[in-house]
Structure 1
């Protein structure tokens, strides 16, 4: 009888630890900017003021491009004003993470219970499209896209179910004195894929943030969705 109780107790402890571990793995802290401040003995990052969240699902065969033999997917962002900094982060899978006011794709609605995830790799890219009237597939295909920053693994992000820190985060500070590296008004995109060549499959959370309010900023997986937001 004592052995039975002991086994039951151990089972409860193991299940509790597993649930706590899962909860911890899904915990996403506020998106901190590159600006730091001292709070008592600690140094913390000042949270971004403006954050747009997008919940999506990436499936094999739906990639937007193949770059260096990797299947890339894009999320488009219209930046309506000069920004001092942009932050981008991505997490997969979404799991039980709750995000207020997040944009949700139809694919995510259908697949939100999926346990599939991928090793995220992200880029922040800027185009030479500076008018929202020119946002169409032909213009985007022929635009000059420049990769401003990229990231593979970030220790600031929650670990994936595998226990590895394979989620991504980047921060890019504008260089106002250098037009090629300045964050000006225009069309940007977040590119994402996996670090290793292979299929991208699973739910994801993508967030783009700025340290100032950017009235009129828009974010969407497709150009049609972006144009609809900009009306």
Structure 2
């Protein structure tokens, strides 16, 4: 009997360890590949800005195509050749140095809720910090540059499903609508499945060059405070 109990404890401990490992976040690599010996790796982004938040039903910013969308606003201060965006839910025990933590995240950091992330990267026609306001953002023209639902590069969720998201968008300098210029961007996120978006999340925006002055915030008010 004791041996059976011991085996059960070992199995539970092993399974718990696998779950923790599944939530481990790897370095954020760009699309730029480099060969080191027999291996080809993606060169890590040199500039990564992280934001930890908590999404809850009723706090969505917009209902679009029948889905409740939440937005994180991002000020990009310089032209970039590529921007990477990734999102993971839940945050769990993941620790990120210098990550911006929203008040909602701090209050709900121990929550075990999470959601099937679906992200978009959008660019507005606002190109000056002086023109950023609540009204200007509402009336701005927003262009969706890229989107992602499930990424095999991201950690699996506690359920074992690979429902976290990652995208890399390369600037198309020849097309004004698809170029990564100075301006106001936003990360849109929702859940791919029908249902509410609820749980902690980690969102990161990255570039292969240094972009001093990148600001991420859940609201325009908070964004302006960081500019």
Backbone CA RMSD of aligned residues:
0.8
**In structure 1, how many angstroms separate the alpha carbons of the residues matched to 2:152 and 2:18?**
17
What is residue 99 of structure 1 aligned with on the other side?
Answer: 96
* TM-score, scaled relative to structure 1: 0.96
The DSSP-based 3-state class of the residue aligned with 1:203 is strand
What is residue 76 of structure 1 aligned with on the other side?
Answer: 73
What is residue 109 of structure 1 aligned with on the other side?
Answer: 106
**In structure 2, how many angstroms separate the alpha carbons of the residues matched to 1:224 and 1:37?**
41
4+ long deviations beyond 6 Å: none
Q: Which digits, 9 at most, give the CA deviation of each residue in 1:172-203, with x for residues without a partner?
A: 00011111110000000000000023210000
Q: Which digits, 9 at most, give the CA deviation of each residue in 1:27-86, with x for residues without a partner?
A: 000000000111121111100000000000000000000010100000000001000000
**In structure 2, how many angstroms separate the alpha carbons of the residues matched to 1:59 and 1:20?**
29
**In structure 2, how many angstroms separate the alpha carbons of the residues matched to 1:97 and 1:130?**
34
* Match for residue 34 of structure 2 among 33, 37, 59: 37
* TM-score, scaled relative to structure 2: 0.98
* Match for residue 143 of structure 1 among 137, 140, 143: 140
* Match for residue 84 of structure 2 among 80, 83, 87: 87
What is residue 14 of structure 1 aligned with on the other side?
Answer: 11
Worse overlay, 15-24 or 136-145: 15-24
Contact in 1 for aligned 2:23/2:158 (Cα 8 Å)? no
What is residue 54 of structure 1 aligned with on the other side?
Answer: 51
**In structure 2, how many angstroms separate the alpha carbons of the residues matched to 1:118 and 1:9?**
34
The DSSP-based 3-state class of the residue aligned with 1:18 is helix
What is residue 163 of structure 2 aligned with on the other side?
Answer: 166
The DSSP-based 3-state class of the residue aligned with 1:180 is coil
